[in-house]
């Protein structure tokens, strides 16, 4: 049985809501053009677009390093991978990509952006070294873009 990206996102959102002690009654995976997940809460509905933050190398979308890391894990090969100490460029890129997309919302849903780090499928390329996460710098690079986007909230979590 294959698990869809949206089902994975639903579980990631569920874990975040439990961690935040945010009350909810239902979590439903959704397919594009909708955001990944719809959360029903006592106060209304929230649409959540979830994305794993990872540093990219190369000019194409995606990360060849991440792809190589995932292949090694699937093959059971023990390899070492370097991780980027400064997560700000990866977080800024993830926000830029998600803010550039359009999402179909149903009714009066709030739209949240969930940034995830530390994926078990690619722990090195999704590692966010929080000691080097300069929030003032991150805000300077993303506040205006987030304010212009349809997102009413943004949060982050480790998987």
Could you tell me the two tokens for 124?
A: 């090195």
Contact indicator for 117, 127 with CB cutoff of 8 Å? yes
How would residue 14 be classed by pLDDT, with cut points 50, 70 and 90? very high
Q: What is the pTM of this model?
A: 0.84
pLDDT digit string (tens) for 97-155?
999 999 999 888 999 999 998 887 788 888 888 888 899 999 999 999 999 999 987 66
CA dist 112 → 47, 126, 134 (Å):
6, 20, 22
Looking at 5-84, which runs of residues are DSSP E strands?
A: 26-29, 37-41, 44-52
Mean per-residue pLDDT, 29-43: 95
Domains of the chain, residue spans = 5-128+151-158
| pLDDT surpasses 90 at 38 | yes
Mean per-residue pLDDT, 42-51: 94
């Amino acid at each position: 049985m294959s698990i869809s990206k949206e089902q994975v996102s639903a579980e990631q959102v569920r874990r975040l809501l439990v961690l935040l002690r945010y009350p909810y009654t239902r979590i439903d995976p959704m397919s594009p053009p909708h955001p990944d997940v719809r959360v029903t809460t006592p106060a209304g509905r929230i649409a959540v677009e979830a994305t794993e933050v990872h540093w990219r190398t190369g000019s194409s979308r995606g990360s060849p390093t991440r792809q190589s890391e995932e292949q090694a894990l699937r093959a059971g090969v023990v390899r070492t991978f370097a991780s980027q100490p400064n997560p700000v460029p990866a977080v800024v890129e993830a926000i830029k990509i998600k803010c550039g997309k359009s999402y179909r919302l149903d009714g009066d849903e709030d739209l949240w952006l969930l940034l995830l780090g530390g994926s078990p499928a690619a722990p090195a390329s999704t590692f966010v070294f929080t000691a080097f996460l300069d929030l003032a710098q991150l805000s300077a690079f993303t506040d205006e873009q987030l304010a212009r986007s349809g997102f009413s909230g943004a949060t982050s979590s480790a998987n």
